[in-house]
Amino acid sequence: MEHITNEIILRGSLLELPQFSHENHGKRFCRFYLEVPRLSGAVDTLPVIAEEELFGQIDPTAGQMLTVTGQVRSHNQRNDGVRKLLIFVFASSIVVEDGEPLNQVILEGPLCREPTFRLTPLGREICDAMLAVPRAFRRADYLPCILWGRIAQEVSHCHTRDVICIHGRLQSRIYTKLTEDGPEERTAYEISALTAEIIEEDLY
């Protein structure tokens, strides 16, 4: 069996009631957003997909605190010939409970493209990396990660197919994209690494 490391646990407030998303193999899925505060005071608004039956034992209301466990997933969506990588949390369990906000992610997988190292205007070191995290049935989730400081330097020397293990959080980031119709506000999702370990360097 293929080794899979893809775990996330979130605790935050339900932004609004879950809405029907889609049906697959006879199962109905819902989509909702969880608001998870950071220590800095910023709030990450994170998309979650869950089987409708997970809500059978609970009666959620907007603003309620939920704990969600599952995996970070990606999906390639095509609109008018344009591909867009959608990032979301696929829930395996949902519990209504109060407590401190949580946002913890563990991922392991090979780099699927060369990492990009850069400096912020204030001189902070950043490395952008894309992991191909294995999923069951020989599939993979392509997940963007951002690393900082010393670990940014270390991963910047890695190459495609090197295996990295990342501990961090899933965060949302609002940015402005210039389109044919003018500026458009969009939201990007990425894993912000707290620690990273190079598990295996590709030998080929």
Show the tokens assigned to 77: 């969506």
Q: Residue 151: which of 199, 202, 197 has the closest Cα?
A: 197
Residue 203 confidence (pLDDT) above 80: no
Q: Residue 92: which of 37, 10, 165 has the closest Cα?
A: 10
Identify the DSSP state of 151. H
Q: Give the Cα separation of 90 and 103 in Å (integer).
A: 14
Exposure of 69 in the CB half-sphere (CA atoms within 13 A): 4
Cα separations in angstroms, 194 against 37, 65, 105, 139, 145: 17, 25, 10, 26, 11
Residue 204 confidence (pLDDT) above 60: no
Q: Give the Cα separation of 161 and 100 in Å (integer).
A: 37
What's the pLDDT tens digit per position in 136-188?
A: 888 999 999 999 999 999 999 999 999 999 999 999 998 888 877 888 888 99
Q: Give the pLDDT score at 185.
A: 86
Q: Give the Cα separation of 145 and 188 in Å (integer).
A: 11
Average pLDDT over residues 74-82: 80
Q: Give the pLDDT score at 196.
A: 96
Question: What CATH architecture does domain 107-200 belong to?
Answer: Beta Barrel (2.40)
Average pLDDT over residues 119-143: 94
- Look-up of token digits 């109905």: 28
Q: How many CB atoms lie under 10 A from the CB of residue 1?
A: 4
Res. 202 pLDDT band, cuts 50 70 90: low
Q: Give the pLDDT score at 77.
A: 83
Q: Give the pLDDT score at 169.
A: 98
Give me the residue spans of the domains in the chain. 5-105, 107-200
Q: Note whether 32 and 53 are within 8 A (CB).
A: no
What's the pLDDT tens digit per position in 9-68?
A: 999 999 999 999 999 989 999 999 999 999 999 999 999 999 999 987 788 888 899 999
CATH fold group of domain 5-105:
OB fold (Dihydrolipoamide Acetyltransferase, E2P) (2.40.50)
Give yes or no on whether 5-105 and 107-200 have one common fold: yes
Q: Give the Cα separation of 48 and 202 in Å (integer).
A: 33
